[in-house]
Amino acid sequence: MDARALLKDAGLAAFVAFALAFPMVGFQTIDVSGSHGITVVTRFGDVAIAVALVFIGRLALSLLQNRAMRLPILVLSAALAVGLPLLTTSYPVITWLSVIATAVIAVRAAWLVFDIADVVGRDEGNHLRDATAFIGRWFGPVLVVFAVLFPFLPMTSRYILDLGILVLTYVMLGWGLNVVVGLAGLLDLGYVAFYAVGAYSYAIIAQTFGWSFWVCLPLAGLFAAFFGVILGFPVLRLRGDYLAIVTLGFGEIIRIILLNWSSFSGGPNGISGVPRPSFLGFPFTANPPEGTRAFHQLFGLDFAPEHRIVFLYYLILALALVTNIFTLRIRKLPIGRAWEALREDEVACRALGINPTNTKLTAFAIGAMFAGFAGAFFATRQGFISPESFSFLESAVILAIVVLDGMGSQIGVVLAAVLLIGIPEFFRELAQFRMLAFGAAMVGIMIWRPRGLLAHRDPSIHLPKAVGGGA
């Protein structure tokens, strides 16, 4: 491209940025205390910075097409990414965005300079596939060890541990939904309904009968699975968009029933005082009732509220790992392969004598069961549940985790959950721009990795090596 075309292209991008930034960044309304009404503060400096940023960024990306320019751009953008935080603008978002933008350009330049793209492009992406297979093989166990040690790492504060529990809950939900969406290819927008069913069944059963967590947990899973089948029946014939709409409706129906059936679910007030989990019957309380012993007394420790958090962390870690091992195993069994075959071509499945009804219903039931387990965990962890926790946004986030991961790989769900749940928590200071950043990240991933972060599928079965040898 010649210089004029480049400038025109970058100018156009800058114009779009200007059109967006002028109203959104340019004016801020401030509620001045004392006076009635609001005053408007202008921030045209920040608008200028944003527009300049887009102009330079676009220009840099275009110039990357030119081999000679790659190294200078790499050096410059890396320097800017490091140096920019030292500059102060009136608005931290601008600084953050500039840093991220220059970092992206630096990575892209480095990618091209070191010819990574050429390696990836060769052999229909076999190298990339090997790389992701490698990540899958080694990264997984390392991650598990890290997760087990996590509560005892020096950097782990109570806040971080809570965040870990939250991320693991979504990892588990992602793995559960992956059975339905990733393996069976049934787009389910109402997954949170089963999460809610699990949470409410746990809360109600535990409160009514006073049974322990370990009795109520399977029951909650069972109830959710039952609802999975109930939802499954009417939607058996639907596919794609139609299925998505009906499941979306189902999720809302459950939420609205919970909201309105006050005598049963407590309505909008929810259910409070959900029994807390205990360690094999030893509660995590400072002063246990007469005649019983608490966890800290059992081990001769001083009472600390963190004990329960650590216990909850290991509980969700164990539940998540069970979900993972179960799905990994079932994928290699006939039912798992039938799910994938159904995702690929339902007509061909029927021609091979596979019962599509049963196959779909088991996928719904098993996916729902894991959501039920996660829901029971959620209820016992919070001690309080209300319909608000089970809005459509939850379904959307879980689905986003599954889609981001590339549908099928188990590690990808972990990365996506960290990305979608963990990182936004860290970026709380971005305030209202948090969701914007979230959206931008999603769009970015869809552009650069349209098949997901780790679009890799391990064959579920191989021919045994020796001809006619043992399996």
Return all residues near 38 (Cβ < 8 A) that are at least 6 apart.
Answer: 29, 30, 31, 32
Q: Would you give the binding string for other proteins spanning residues 121-140, x where CB under 8 A is met?
A: ---x----------------
Residue with tokens 């007469």: 290
As separate numbers, helices (DSSP H) first and strands (DSSP E) second, the chain gives 21, 4
Closer residue to other proteins, CB minimum distance, 1 or 352: 352
- For residue 314, give the amino acid letter: Y
Report residue 438 as tokens. Answer: 């979230």
Report residue 380 as tokens. Answer: 């016992």
Q: State phi, psi for 184 to the nearest 5 degrees.
A: -80, -10
d(CA 458, CA 451): 15
Look at the alpha carbons of 349, 354, 358, 362 in this order and tell me if their dihedral is positive or negative: negative
Closer residue to other proteins, CB minimum distance, 276 or 337: 337
CB of 179 to other proteins, least distance (A): 13
- Of 155, 302, 459, 465, the one binding other proteins (CB under 8 A) is 459
Closer residue to other proteins, CB minimum distance, 182 or 387: 182
Residue 385, classed as helix, strand or coil, is: strand
306 binds other proteins (CB under 8 A): no
Residue pair 412/404 in contact (Cβ under 8 Å)? The answer is: yes
d(CA 453, CA 455): 6
Q: Where are the beta strands (DSSP E) in 244-364?
A: 271-272
Closer residue to other proteins, CB minimum distance, 9 or 346: 346
CB of 180 to other proteins, least distance (A): 16
CB of 199 to other proteins, least distance (A): 27
Count of residues for the chain? 471
| Widest Cα–Cα separation across the chain | 88
Nearest CA to 173 among 413, 432, 393?
413
353 binds other proteins (CB under 8 A): yes
Closer residue to other proteins, CB minimum distance, 62 or 460: 460
Closer residue to other proteins, CB minimum distance, 147 or 183: 183
- Of 4, 36, 428, 462, the one binding other proteins (CB under 8 A) is 462
Distance set, CA 82 to CA 69, 72, 87, 89, 325 (Å): 20, 16, 10, 16, 42
Closer residue to other proteins, CB minimum distance, 87 or 461: 461
471 binds other proteins (CB under 8 A): yes
**Mind giving me the DSSP string for 280-347?**
TTB---SSPPTT---HHHHTTPPP-THHHHHHHHHHHHHHHHHHHHHHHHHHTSHHHHHHHHHHH-HH
Residue span binding other proteins (CB under 8 A) among the ranges 131-139, 260-268, 323-331, 430-438: 323-331
- Of 3, 86, 155, 347, the one binding other proteins (CB under 8 A) is 347
Residue span binding other proteins (CB under 8 A) among the ranges 137-145, 158-166, 193-201, 454-462: 454-462
Look at the alpha carbons of 403, 329, 421, 319 in this order and tell me if their dihedral is positive or negative: positive
Q: Would you give the binding string for other proteins spanning residues 324-343, x where CB under 8 A is met?
A: --x--xx--xxx-xx-xx--
Site for other proteins in 403-442 (CB under 8 A): none
CB of 133 to other proteins, least distance (A): 12
Nearest CA to 461 among 323, 322, 324, 336?
336
d(CA 330, CA 246): 27
288 binds other proteins (CB under 8 A): no
d(CA 105, CA 97): 12
- Of 8, 158, 239, 350, the one binding other proteins (CB under 8 A) is 350
354 binds other proteins (CB under 8 A): yes
468 binds other proteins (CB under 8 A): yes
92 binds other proteins (CB under 8 A): no
349 binds other proteins (CB under 8 A): yes
Residue span binding other proteins (CB under 8 A) among the ranges 165-173, 221-229, 322-330, 387-395: 322-330
- Of 115, 123, 130, 345, the one binding other proteins (CB under 8 A) is 345
Closer residue to other proteins, CB minimum distance, 320 or 455: 455
d(CA 368, CA 114): 45
Closer residue to other proteins, CB minimum distance, 363 or 371: 363
Closer residue to other proteins, CB minimum distance, 196 or 454: 454
Orientation of helix 92-113 relative to helix 44-63, angle to 10°: 10
Binding site for other proteins (CB under 8 A): 124, 326, 329-330, 333-335, 337-338, 340-341, 344-345, 347-356, 362, 457, 459-464, 467-468, 470-471
